[in-house]
Structure 1
């Protein structure tokens, strides 16, 4: 069976206020072309379909159009919800559209109910592990503790129990999690509530392929456990990432071979550093004049109207920082900087900014507990 593994579409996301829906549409059109060209048998989407729990209508329309195209091609789709998605909203009418070959797994109670697909060698069971917020699912899963490791271990035990009743069936698991040994990116939302966020790869023993989502860098944990990464760069730190999908071939014995399929790059990200006058005149930067830029100025003093002057040559400067000048209102955290920090680090940094003093350990602990409480409550509302 040939499987196209992708994840972390984040439909509806913007980049420093630049809308990305056109770029996301280009990716999804390319994905459909890959499905046709490579004779894909099934598409696996490992979570974070949308960028937020209540996505804009344009993002929903794009999602529905993509589902309709796959249904017309009669290509099965297996998809899980991620930590950015609202499981209940994403899973609306999931039982109904399953008849069209669209298998949404957003409910923890469905994780041991596989989508059973057929190839020349027999059945392949696709199990969907949506993002499991430990504090919200521990009781319903009867996990021993409120931790990512405990709830995912319990979930995998249930999957292995079901798989044991299906002798000779190969198994694919979709999961939205942080596996030990993988390399994160700053544009991912922190999921450390409920203890340590990462889980060992051994947790997924007993299945043939694990299609992971959540981390935005395409990477291989081992031959049978991989992250596809996000199809587009969502921060300047990802400017040099090779964005791709995995084309996975699962043979009759469950052996895996995979190759990377590059995603289109509808926009060019780059970072420039130097003195303002040099950046405005240096011919070496001509090829970046239409790129989306993060510019770091190294002038000893803060240049007057720097952004306005830069945009005369580089109209798409989206982020401007100063490497040597002292702090000012311009240096308050931008979205790019915020996404490189945990929520706790952001709160501690803000406290330092307004009080001009480092938080005490009791204050740090109070902030941590407050953030955990708010995150769990918000996730519960999204359900």
Structure 2
């Protein structure tokens, strides 16, 4: 089995398009399916980044699923909190016949995709993202929480398993925030009244649980794992190794596992130092082709800092300033009582930049302050007269 999730097709990275990088990953995925004799591909939610994906994202997903349907593997896909369950699940009963099983309807969580190998039956239960608000009434949930929703889904899974022949092995796909795992900055918050996490014990007794939602590959146990996203979607993931889990399911459950790294079309780098240090350090040449998040520590904010950084690091996307010796957040600012608008504006520029405004800037700020004091009624009358 090859466990992947959180493709987020159509997502951008600080306004940089990711579709071509996502296409590289999907080519890699198909290559792994063929070269490693994969029988089953598990996609645990967030196929798309938005409920209404772009046309190009839909084309890429269509191409990926068509190629998977033509491959040696069967495929089970569930919807995540970023997906529209209705849109992703459209035509799923027809697509089943091609060996791609898309599970987006919460009412079917207890109905598995039935497979078999030389050891007997393998039952694959797809749990889409379960919204407690949407399920509280139809499922008669006692609590408004993800724990309650997933617990009820797993009760239905176990009820079906209890009717199956001895020796049947079970696989569950779930899109949830399982306690004990580390999130990154790029996941959308799914908390409901502050209750977003579910216990890993809900999956006890399942031969393999393929989790989605968190973007870092993580292993809660030999049988409960996150594959993480195939690409980094925030600079907080700069240290992640992205990829998929290759799981061998034997007669008694998981018999072997391997993490298969995904290609890295463009690495991430988080750089910190003065502008001169970042531009002059020869050791930083390795990051000249990376997406860069730079934090400048100059006491005085450099002019044209982003332009100058991009001369060496053309893919700099994020620029922050943390001057050395600057007051800590929350430190009282200079008092403004008794100061005029122009004086306050000059003080703000000096505090932000670490150097006073130039003479030309002071004139411009004075003109802006005077313009802001014009009577809006006069401007409205003037506008009406012109019309």
Q: TM-score, normalised on structure 2?
A: 0.82
Aligned twin of 2:134: 136
Q: Which residue of the other structure, out of 83, 95, 113, is the alignment partner of 2:93?
A: 95
Aligned twin of 1:40: 38
Aligned twin of 1:291: 290
Distance 2:106 2:255 in 1: 27
Conserved? CA contact 1:242–1:262, under 8 Å:
yes
CA deviation after TM superposition for structure 1 residue 255, in Å: 3.6
User: Does residue 323 of structure 1 match 2:317?
Assistant: no
Q: Deviations over 1:179-220 (max 9, x none)?
A: 111111111111112441111111112311100000011010
Aligned twin of 1:64: 62
SS of the aligned residue for 1:145 comes to coil
Runs of 4+ in 1 over 4 A off after TM superposition: none
Aligned twin of 1:220: 219
Aligned twin of 2:84: 86
Query: Runs of 5+ in structure 1 lacking a partner?
Result: 328-383
CA deviation after TM superposition for structure 1 residue 312, in Å: 1.4
Distance 2:255 2:91 in 1: 33
Distance 1:250 1:289 in 2: 43
SS of the aligned residue for 2:61 comes to helix
Distance 2:284 2:205 in 1: 52
Aligned twin of 1:309: 308
Distance 1:81 1:33 in 2: 24
Aligned twin of 1:175: 174
Distance 2:234 2:51 in 1: 20
Aligned twin of 1:121: 119
Distance 2:261 2:176 in 1: 23
Aligned twin of 1:165: 163
Aligned twin of 1:373: none
SS of the aligned residue for 1:242 comes to coil
Distance 1:92 1:44 in 2: 19
Q: Which has the higher mean CA deviation after the structures are superposed, 317-326 or 8-17?
A: 317-326
Distance 2:194 2:315 in 1: 40
Q: Deviations over 1:103-128 (max 9, x none)?
A: 11101011111000111111101001
CA deviation after TM superposition for structure 1 residue 74, in Å: 4.0
Query: Runs of 5+ in structure 2 lacking a partner?
Result: 328-387
Higher RCO (CA 8 Å, separation ≥ 6 residues):
1
The CA RMSD measured in Å over matched residues stands at 1.3
